[in-house]
Structure 1
Amino acid sequence: MRAAIFRDGDLVAGTIDEPKPADGQVLVKTLACGICGSDLHTFHHAEKMNDAAKRSGSDFAMDLKRDLVFGHEFCAEILDHGPNTQKTLKAGTRVCSVPIAIELKGEQAQMHPLGFSNTLPGGFAEQMVLNEMMLLEVPNGLATDQAALTEPMAVGWHAVEKANLTPEDIPLVIGCGPVGLAVIAGLKIKGVHPIIAADFSPARRKLAETMGADIVLDPGKDSPYKRWTDEATPEGFDPKNVMALLGMGPKIRPGVIFECVGVPGIIQQILEGAPRAARIVVVGVCMEQDKFEPFFAINKELNLQFVLGYTPEEFALTLHHLAEGKIDGAPLVTGKVGVEGVKQAFTDLANPEKHAKILVEPWH
C-alpha cells in the first residue's frame, strides 16, 4: 500500500506492506489524517525526542534506522475485522480512535503509539489497524474532515479541563496556532469570558476570532497582559487603597494563561507579564532546552501546570462536541494532499498566513 514514509531522516512517498489485524483489531482505510505539530517536531528533532523521552523515564522510543509512518489525527473506515472481534460496527462504518494500538501477546500487552511506531503504520498510509474496543463511530453525519480534527481538539479540551476554571476567571491564550485554537474552542464551550488571545500572525488572529475569542491582539503592538489587567480590574479598584491591601472591596478577577507556542523564552515572558496568583497552563511542546527565573513565579505566587494529550473520555467527548456543532473545525482545514504531497506540506505549514491544518488523504 502507499504511504508517506519517514526514512533516513527524510519524507518519501513509497509502498509498504499492508498491516494485518491481530486479535481484537480491525483493518481500516484512512480517509483523512491531519498533520500535527508533533509530526513536524519528529521530522526535525527525532533524535532529541528519543533522548528526552529516555531521560524523562518514558518507554517511548523510535528506531530511526527503520521506516516509520506518521499520522495520529485520523478518521477512518472499517474494511475488515480481525480474529476474536465482536463486529459491533460493520464494514463501511466511519470511525475515530485514540491513536494507540494494543497487541496482546499471551498475558502481556504491547502498546503501539500510532504515528510514532516502527511496527504499525499511522494515518499517512492507506490502511491502519485499530483496536475494536477503542473505536468511536462518527456520529450525526459529521464530515470526515471535521472528524479528523477530534485528536487535536481533544488536546485543547484537556488543557482547558486541567485549568480547573471558575466563572470568575479571565483566560488569556498566548499563541493561536492549532493548539491555541483548540484551547479557544474549549474555553468557548466552558463559557468563560472574555477570552483574550494573542498572536503575531493576522491569519491566526482571524481564526482565533472565528473559534470564539472575544478579544484578539497583536502582541507586537499591544501588551496582552495589560489588556488582561484592563479587563480584569473592576470599577473602583485601587491597588494602593488600604481596603484593597486587606483583601476587602472590589477584587481583580483571577487569571489563567495558556502557553500555546512551545518555543524557548515564552515561559519567562509569561512569568514576567502574568498577574499575581495566575495559573499558567503550558500546552505548547518546546523541544529545545529552556530557562526561566523562578523568582518571578515565587514573587507572584504563580501556579505552573504542564499538560499532555487527553484521556479517552475527553477524546470521546470532543468527537461529540464536533458532531453537535459546539466546535466548528471547518475553518481550520486549509489544505489537503496525497502521500506525494506530504513533504511539501511540512514546508508549507511553516507559513502561518497560508495554513492552519493540512489533511493527508492517502488514497488520493
Structure 2
Amino acid sequence: MRSLEIHAPGDLRLVEKEPTAPGPGQVRLAVEYGGICGSDLGYWRTGVSGTAVMKRPFVLGHEISGRIEELGEGVTGLAVGQGVTVHPARTRSPLPEELVGRENLHPDLTYFGSAAQDPHTDGAFAQSLTVDADQIVPLPEGLSTRRAVLAEPLGVAMHAVTRAGDLTGKHVLVSGCGPVGLLVVLAARAAGAAHITAVDLAEAARERALALGADEALESTDGMDQRISVAFEASGAPASLDGILRSIARAAIVVQVGNLPPTPVSVTLGPVVSKELDYRGTYRFVAEIEQAVQLLASSEVAEQVISDEFALEDAQAAFEAAAGRGSSKVVLTFA
C-alpha cells in the first residue's frame, strides 16, 4: 500500500508499506478520501503546526473516510464493506479527575498525523489503515464517504459551538471562512443561531459562507452589528482577533477556533476588560464526530465545503492548491 509521509518542509513522499492485519478488537479499512487540514499544511510549509514541531518523518492526515475491509477477532456490530470514518484520538492512561468530560485535553492524548508527541503519531493518509474498533464511527444511511471526509473538521466546529454555550436565537459572527469556519457556520445554524454574519477578505470564501447558511458575508468587522453576542475567530490571524475584540458588543463571548502562532502576537486586549468579554479557547473535540456524521447525512449543502479533489499521486499539487487563496477543503482520493 502507499502512504503519504512528510520528511521536511515541502518534502512529501509516497512510501510503499505493508498493510497491517487487524489484531483482536481492531478493524482494517480501505481509505477512500482524506481531507488536507491546516495542521497538515503547517508541517508541509514550515515543519510546525501550532506548538508541535516535526523532528522526523511521519505519515500525515487525520480527516479520512472509507470502508471496512477486515474485522479482527472479537469485533461485533460492524461489517465488511460498511462506510465509516475514524475518531483520530487515542489515550492510554486514565483521564485526570479535573478533566472529566474533556478527554480532548488528556495530557497523554495522541492524534493521527501529529508531531505533538515524540515519537510522532503516524496519520491516516494511507490506502489501508488499521485502528481500534472503538475509533470507528459508522456512517448513517445515505451519507457518502466523500461527504463524510468532513466529519472530523465538522466535529471541531461543533465542539467550538459547544464551547460558546446556547446559541438559540443569538446573533453570531464567524470570522475566517476557510473549511473550519464554513463548518462553524453550518454548526451554528444547526445549534439554533438566529442570524450569522461571516467575515472574510476573499470573495470566494464569502460566497461559500452564504451557501452554507450565513445571512450576510462581509470583508471586515468594521461597523459590526452590536446585536452580535457570540463570535468565532476561525482564521488564526491575530489581526482578525484584534478586529473582533475592538468591534464586538459588550459582555460578548469570543471563541478562538483558529490556531494562533506559537510565538507572541500583537492584539489589543484592553476590550477584554472594558467590555467584560469572555474569551474562550477550543481544542479539537470530544465525541462530537458522532453528531457530525448525523448532521452531514442531513445536509447536502455541506459538500460545498469541498473545493478540489486530487489523486494520491498528485499530493504535491493538492497541498499547493490547499495553500492557495481560492481553495476551501482539498481532498485526496486513495482508491
- Name the TM tier (shorter chain): 0.7 to 0.9
Q: What is residue 268 of structure 2 aligned with on the other side?
A: 293
Within 5 A, what are the aligned runs for 1:258-273? 258-273=232-247
Any gaps of 5 or more consecutive residues in structure 1?
54-60, 105-109, 233-253
Asked if the contact 2:148–2:293 (Cα under 8 Å) also holds between the matched residues in 1, the reply is yes
1:332 equivalent among 305, 308, 317: 305
Residue by residue over 1:62-96, the C-alpha shift from the partner in whole angstroms, topping out at 9 and shown as x without a partner, is 5x32x31111111121111234x323212111111
TM-score, with normalisation over the residues of structure 1?
0.80
- C-alpha distance in 2, partners of 1:74/1:35? 9
Distance 1:271 1:216, change over 3 A: same
C-alpha separation between the residues in 1 aligned to 2:124 and 2:142? 21
3-state SS, counterpart of residue 328 of structure 1: helix
Give the one of 26, 49, 60 matched to 1:70. 60
| Aligned AA (2:18) | D
CA-CA distance at 1:338 after TM superposition = 2.0
Residues 293-340 of structure 1, C-alpha deviations (whole Å, 9 max, x = no match): 33221111111001011111x110110111123x63221222211222
User: For residue 269 of structure 1, what is the amino acid of its counterpart?
Assistant: G
CA deviations over 1:17-73 (Å, ceiling 9, x no partner): 323433321111101111111111122243565xx35xxxxxxx75x32x3111111
* Counterpart for residue 8 of structure 2: 8
Note closer, same or farther for the CA distance 1:129–1:2 as it changes in structure 2 (3 Å cut).
same
| TM-score, normalization by structure 2 | 0.87
Structure index of larger Rg: 1
SS at match of 1:141: coil
CA contact (8 A) 2:4 2:59 kept: yes
For 2:148, the equivalent position in structure 1 comes to 147
1:360, CA displacement in angstroms? Answer: 1.0
CA gap of 1:27–1:205, structure 2 versus 1, over 3 A, is same
Structure 2 letter corresponding to 1:69: V
Deviation at 1:184, TM superposition (A): 0.3
SS state of the match for residue 262, structure 1? coil
The residue aligned with 2:195 is: 194
Shift of 1:8: 3.5
Map residues 1-364 of structure 1 onto 2, 5 A cutoff: 1-9=1-9, 10-47=11-48, 49=50, 52=51, 64-65=55-56, 67-83=57-73, 85-100=74-89, 112-116=110-114, 121-219=122-220, 224-229=221-226, 232=227, 255-289=229-263, 290-312=265-287, 314-325=288-299, 328-353=301-326, 355-363=327-335
Q: What is the letter of the counterpart of residue 332 of structure 1?
A: V
CA distance in 2 between counterparts of 1:294 and 1:8 reads: 36
The 1:288/1:266 distance shift into structure 2, 3 A limit, reads farther
User: Kindly tell me: are residues 29 and 348 of structure 1, through their superposed partners in 2, closer, same or farther at Cα, counting changes over 3 Å?
Assistant: same
Please tell me whether the aligned partners of residues 100 and 130 of structure 1 are also in contact (alpha carbons under 8 angstroms). no
Provide the C-alpha distance between the structure 1 equivalents of 2:24 and 2:120, rounded to a whole number of angstroms.
Answer: 16
Deviations 1:249-293 (A, max 9, x none): xxxxx6111101102333222222222111100001123422323
1:180-238 CA distance string (max 9 Å, x none): 1011001111221211111111111110001000011122xxxx352413xx2xxxxxx
Deviation for aligned residue 1:112: 4.5
| Percent pairwise identity | 28
Q: Secondary structure at the match of 2:58?
A: coil
Asked if 1 retains the 8 angstrom alpha-carbon contact of 2:175 and 2:234, the reply is: yes
* Residue 97 of structure 2: aligned partner: none
Instruction: Extract unaligned runs of 5+ from structure 2.
Output: 94-107
Alpha-carbon distance, 1:167 to partner: 3.4
The code of the aligned residue for 1:302 comes to L
Which AA in structure 2 matches 1:70? L
